[in-house]
Structure 1
Amino acid sequence: MIGDLWETDISGAVKLGIKSIWFNRRNETNFDGDIAEIIYKPNDLIEKLNLT
């Protein structure tokens, strides 16, 4: 799961056991970084998915 909203996208997916990547484009700080991968810009996603 790739999402940009922690509460609705990432938190829900993690509760269902789905590996998640959070696109934190707003640089939010109220999250648990241990349960999901975090990226801050679109190019980070390319690196996480090994598309380079």
Structure 2
Amino acid sequence: TAGNLSVQIDKLSEAGYIEVKKSFVGKKPRTTCRITPVGRQAFEDYVNALKGYIDM
């Protein structure tokens, strides 16, 4: 749901994994997220851990 997505975006932003930019296009809100270097490294570490679990 939109509410659940908002909570997840807030958590990722607070952890420093993403940067969030909020704006409006006309009268509609737009949220843009960009992964940070810290977030990219955390994701790579996560993927490597998963690979380790399945012996890749």
Same fold (TM over 0.5): no
Structure having the larger proportion of residues in helix: 2
Mark the structure with the bigger radius of gyration.
2
Structure having the larger proportion of residues in strand: 2
TM-score by length of 2: 0.29
